[in-house]
Structure 1
């Protein structure tokens, strides 16, 4: 990933025989079916029924394709309608998590720079919603980062356990984990955990608001 990001290069003129949108859509389909390890420029060109030269006109590398595909699925995350800040944040993060789980390959790419318009748009919405709720200064990025880390960590853990949980006999020396740690409802666990985070954040905003009012 040492080359310049696809988002920082001038966009080339579309060729009638192949569009960037079609390339990205086919890449997402391939990734959904087989995962990131199986994605190659040659296989993508074959699926598009075109030559590699034509494909390279639009995208230089596999990294370009992955960045474009990752941003494309962020476009599936619904932007919440106006409402209370907690409801908006909860809706945004629930949609974010659902999208990652629909595309399990994406959780392995979340360390990539997210500079595409869809990812930036959702991140902007999160920051703006928190700012309107009263978060400011260092509290604003801390709150946004905590929420983003929670949703990506939750999706990554759930996607990683789709291969099966550890058998009970493997946990005989860890009784609490055996009883409570593995067999749970993922949706409920996510909702409860997000509620804990938002409770703490709401409390902090309330304290700061009262404190500034007293000054």
Structure 2
């Protein structure tokens, strides 16, 4: 008889088969891990560095978290709890609800720039209680639009893929500015002449920048995100309408 395979390593599986650890201690570990990540980035996170911040040895952390991957599962779920997903009744219909959710997720990622790089990469983050609650709320919105089970999940994933894809580069850009101690406007002023010279032999790029100009870079980021979000929602709305016909 073949040996049974070990379960997929995940804090959510392990906590279901073991007696729950003291919530306060675990809450403190996760909260401090989030602060470390926000201040120093993903590369700075280790059980040892976190133990130092908590004035505790790494060994004591292992009583609650088996390894760094489990810790990342926990911090992802912690910050996912900041995501706002209104009901269709609270919003002006399902489309407005999805738009609000998308902007909320973008804001969460920009507050926690490390988040986009670990979503879907660490263990079973989708089993976290906050992730599951928000996923359920998002599915309620797309079900309200008329998407059937199965396709509803695809619709949600399409929206999330757009937000994460747009925001991961945005978060990296803002993190780079923070490391260099520059504002967006200062960075733009620094690279403007170099960029204009680089575009001299590229008329289409020159035409685009001539139209967009060099206005408020923060506003430009907002407009670019909104444009793409509207196009994704247009596609979902058209699909919902064709399915209902």
| Pairwise TM-score range, normalised by the shorter structure | 0.7 to 0.9
TM-aligned CA distance change 1:171 to 1:202, over 3 Å: same
Choose from 32, 40, 48 the match for 2:54: 48
Q: Distance in 1 between matches of 2:243 and 2:20?
A: 51
Distance 1:141 1:41 in 2: 35
Structure 1 equivalent of residue 11 of structure 2 = 6
The residue aligned with 1:95 is 104
Q: 1:137 to 1:122 in 2, by over 3 A?
A: closer
**What do residues 160-190 of structure 1 show as CA deviations (whole Å, max 9, x unaligned)?**
3333677403444444345547966111111
Taking the TM superposition and a 5 Å limit, the aligned residue runs for 1:127-142 are 127-136=139-148, 139-142=151-154
**CA shift digits 1:118-176 (9 cap, x unpaired):** 11221221122101210125532332121010010111121133336774034444443
Residues 1:159 and 2:171 aligned together:
yes
Residue 108 of structure 1: aligned partner: 117
Deviations 1:27-70 (A, max 9, x none): 00000000010111111011111122211100111111111111
Structure 2 unmatched runs, 5+? 1-6, 177-186
CA distance in 2, matches of 1:23, 1:39: 12
Q: 1:175 to 1:88 in 2, by over 3 A?
A: same
Superposition TM-score, scaled by structure 2 size: 0.76
**Count of residue correspondences:** 208
TM-score (norm 1): 0.86
